[in-house]
């Protein structure tokens, strides 16, 4: 089981689905960002799994995974800064109360 590509890819798919649910269902903007991190982690797991099982991708997959991590860190920085900036004006972290642009 630990030596088949399918089990790791299925685990990654399930983790991605959990992250999708969190992103769609949570009301708190920071909880949505955490769900995005879960989804990014799921994709990274798939990349690393391919790297471990496909001989021609062995080193490349690790490098790609490291780059994805760095981009995820940049995304988290900017995303959280935006959430804090909105919180300062609207006094709530709940996304369904951000109705300014609809009015």
Partner 1 sequence: MTLPQTVPFLGWSWNDLLFLVLATALLGTALMVVLGRNIIRSGLWMIACFATLAGVYALLGTPLVAAAQVLVYIGAISVLILFAIMLTQTKGGPAALVFHHQAWAAAIAAVVLGTLLALVVTSTEWPLAGEYAATSVRAIAQLLFSDYVLPFEIVGVLLLAAVIGGVFLAKRDEPRDEPYGEPPG
Q: Could you give phi then psi for residue 94, rounded to 5 degrees?
A: -90, 125
Nearest-approach distance from CB 102 to partner 1, in angstroms:
12
Closest CA to 37 of 60, 64, 18: 18
- Cα distance between residue 71 and residue 66, in whole Å: 9
- 14-53: contacts with partner 1 (CB under 8 A): 14-22, 24-31, 33-35, 37-38, 41, 44-45, 48-53
Nearest-approach distance from CB 68 to partner 1, in angstroms:
10
Collapse the DSSP code of 99 into the 3-class scheme (helix H, G, I; strand E, B; otherwise coil) and give the result. coil
Collapse the DSSP code of 28 into the 3-class scheme (helix H, G, I; strand E, B; otherwise coil) and give the result. strand
- 76-95: contacts with partner 1 (CB under 8 A): 76-78, 80-85, 87-94
Nearest-approach distance from CB 28 to partner 1, in angstroms:
6
96 binds partner 1 (CB under 8 A): yes
């Amino acid at each position: 089981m630990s030596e088949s590509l399918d089990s790791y890819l299925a685990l990654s798919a399930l983790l991605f689905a959990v992250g999708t649910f969190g992103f769609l269902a949570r009301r708190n903007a920071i909880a949505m960002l955490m769900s995005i991190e879960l989804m990014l982690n799921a994709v990274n797991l798939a990349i690393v799994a391919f790297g471990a099982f496909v001989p021609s991708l062995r080193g490349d997959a690790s490098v790609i995974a490291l780059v994805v991590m760095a981009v995820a860190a940049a995304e988290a920085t900017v995303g959280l800064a935006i959430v804090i900036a909105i919180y300062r004006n609207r006094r709530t972290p709940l996304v369904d109360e951000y109705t300014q642009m609809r009015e």
